Amino acid sequence: MTSSGCGGAAADHEKLGDRAYVNRQFGDALIEYRLAIKDRANAKLRAKAGAAALHVGDLTAAAEEYLALAKGSSAQRSEGADGLERVARAAMEANDRPGLAAALSGLREIAAGRALGSFAGPLARGITESSSPAEAIAVLPYAAAAAPDARAQDSLVLQYARSLARAARCDDASSAFEGLIRRQRDAGVVRSAQQGLVQCALSSGRAALERGEPQTAEDWFRRAVLEGGDAPLARAAYLGLGDVMFARGDYVGAADAFLRATQGAPPGDSVAEHARQKLGNLTNAGTVAR
């Protein structure tokens, strides 16, 4: 569509935008293109606005314009996807996480195969423990699939499992941790996966206890004990088991579990302190023989 077909006000703003763009006044160009879009949006204006926003460094706005462009014809869809890829690359270079999220979200919506294929590796390198779990969960499986070797793949799967756990998806996380443990490819990864599995079991057990599901809670806590072995987390599992036994009225079983939670604990250990308090409460209530 040509400028003459846009109508008076929109055509004027488009021409003003074109003039500013040619003069490399990209901020002014973006303003004019947006005014033109407000009067009459079309694919050409969306493409121009996206390019201007990309030059300005307003990558979130650029992603929005290219996504709007991509919702047109098949040719416009391809052009919009190309623009979103340019935005994603610029965002990675500038470490603009909101811009990158907007670009990838747009790509997933209109061209899912392009969304993470070439970006998964670089994106995964930018993910840390402080990144949102949703971002990590969206990226890491693709990065693991494209990993150059088994060691790198296992490292990414471990990161993925931890992200699932942070997102309160312990059932899924446990499956990923178990897979890493079965493969036994790297001792450090296996240890970390075992720890993650125990932590997930503890979290699931506590959640079940809070929901009033003692049998489910017991199953999870016993799994944590089994997987934890001599690790400190196993003592936390015994603490949970003691709570389950106490809720059932099995005070002797509760006392035994609380005692196990104190065994091997270093001075000042919080789990052991809680266990001793619970033992004291049992004894003071006269439920445990002296």
pLDDT digits (tens, 9 = 90+) for 73-127: 888 998 999 999 899 889 878 878 788 878 888 887 887 666 566 677 777 777 7
What's the distance, CA 231 to chain centroid?
28
- Do 63 and 102 meet the contact criterion of CB atoms below 8 Å apart? yes
Question: Is residue 129 pLDDT above 80, yes or no?
Answer: no
Share of the chain above pLDDT 70, in %: 91
Range with the poorest average pLDDT among 58-67, 100-109, 129-138, 173-182 = 129-138
Confidence bin at 10 (pLDDT 50/70/90): very low
pTM here is 0.61
pLDDT digits (tens, 9 = 90+) for 216-226: 999 999 999 88
Question: Is residue 131 pLDDT above 80, yes or no?
Answer: no
pLDDT digits (tens, 9 = 90+) for 221-249: 999 988 887 777 888 999 999 999 988 88
